[in-house]
Amino acid sequence: MSGWRRRIAVTGGCGFIGGAYLRQMVPRHPEDLYVNIDALTYAASPERVAAVAHEGNYVFERVDIRDTKAVVECLGRHSITDVVHFAAESHNDRAILTPLRFVETNVVGTANLLESWRVVAKGSGGRFHHISTDEVYGSLPIEGGEGFTESTPYDPSSPYSASKAAADHLVRAWHRTFGLDVVITNCSNNFGPFQFPEKLLPVMISNALSGRRLPVYGDGMNVRDWIHVEDHCDALDLVLRQGRAGRTYNIGADCEIPNITLVTMLCEIIDQREGPLPGGRSRASLIEFVPDRPGHDRRYAIDASRIREELGWSPRHEFRQALEDTVDWYRTHRAWVENCQKSDEFRAYAERNYGERSGDVS
């Protein structure tokens, strides 16, 4: 098929959320061409898109969004009409160790991509969809039912969230200054298959399956709002196609849980499936509280009223069942996790931060 309705560049398509997006959208929209633009850094995995790699409306391009010349060439060669921008450094602990790397990718890279697309796709009538995070809003009080709305003032606490906030502002500036059709989405914590094993759920599942310690920051009462990655991707597709230009949409599934409660739930699920540890111990006995990280926000929560009311979106997954399904996926894909953990960059980072193969505790 040559007369594509849309030619969509998906940056970071070998990442966790970008890969899930492509796995869903490539078969859902055969009339659109999807060009996966990814630099294949340490957390990328081509296996995330293996299910669609041979589809006729999918193309892969190894390009770093910080390389303006390469980005312009790639977007031009494929006559890109729309951009869905996932590519980012996203791991908070790494942002503390190498903050300038986050500025280069998340801020400079986004500016390069915006300007490249402005030059290449001028007059195409296409859209730039920037995927961001709820962390740009800072921290909420631990008590109180309110969540972040699209009008909540930005108050980032970490180099990561500050770099994403800066990128959000750049996207709005290109909209207001140059008239580009842009949308921004800010989402809560994602979970599901193929998440890199330095994030909370894959770390805890992998460690619990192997009988290793389960490090939890501080008192474990930091609250996060969780959403299954497939529900997030459904929302992203709606925003790309039906969202209002210049609009921000918060995406969340109304699922606030303290970290310690979530880790305990994972232990319970794994105990049910694998049996207890030697001596009949629950895996919850592996939980170890470790010193809190700098800039660790206390609570996140999303008010997703706008996307629900304007676009009719709602999550499909029930949290407990989705959590059990996620545990089962990691139980049957241990080789993928172990392969991720073999990389030199992963080993060096984990040993420097934890003295063993472990990871972020959100």
pLDDT tens digits, 85-143: 999 998 888 888 899 999 999 999 999 999 999 999 877 789 999 999 999 999 998 87
The two beta strands, 214-217 and 287-290, are parallel
User: How far apart are alpha carbons 334 and 112 in whole angstroms?
Assistant: 37
Closest-CA residue to 184 (of 132, 225, 229)? 132
Which CATH number does 200-224+256-295+319-345 carry? Answer: 3.90.25.10
The reported pLDDT for the residue numbered 361 is 43
The reported pLDDT for the residue numbered 1 is 44
| Residue ranges of domains in the chain | 7-191+226-251, 200-224+256-295+319-345
The reported pLDDT for the residue numbered 359 is 42
- Do residues 19 and 46 lie in contact, with contact meaning Cβ atoms separated by under 8 Å? no
Task: Note the pTM of the prediction, 2 decimals.
Answer: 0.94
User: How far apart are alpha carbons 134 and 143 in whole angstroms?
Assistant: 18
The two beta strands, 82-85 and 214-217, are unpaired
- Under-70 pLDDT residues of the chain: 1-2, 347-362
Strands (E), 101-217: 128-133, 182-187, 189-191, 214-217
Strands (E), 86-141: 128-133
User: How far apart are alpha carbons 57 and 259 in whole angstroms?
Assistant: 40
- Do residues 19 and 194 lie in contact, with contact meaning Cβ atoms separated by under 8 Å? yes
The reported pLDDT for the residue numbered 295 is 86
User: How far apart are alpha carbons 163 and 91 in whole angstroms?
Assistant: 12
Closest-CA residue to 191 (of 178, 179, 182, 200)? 200
Catalytic sites, residue numbers: 134-135, 160
The reported pLDDT for the residue numbered 144 is 72
Which CATH number does 7-191+226-251 carry? Answer: 3.40.50.720
Closest-CA residue to 12 (of 45, 53, 50)? 45
Q: Looking up tokens 């918060």, which residue turns up?
A: 250
User: How far apart are alpha carbons 244 and 248 in whole angstroms?
Assistant: 8
Percent of the chain with pLDDT over 90: 86
User: How far apart are alpha carbons 234 and 230 in whole angstroms?
Assistant: 6
319-332 vs 200-210: helix axis angle to the nearest 10? 60
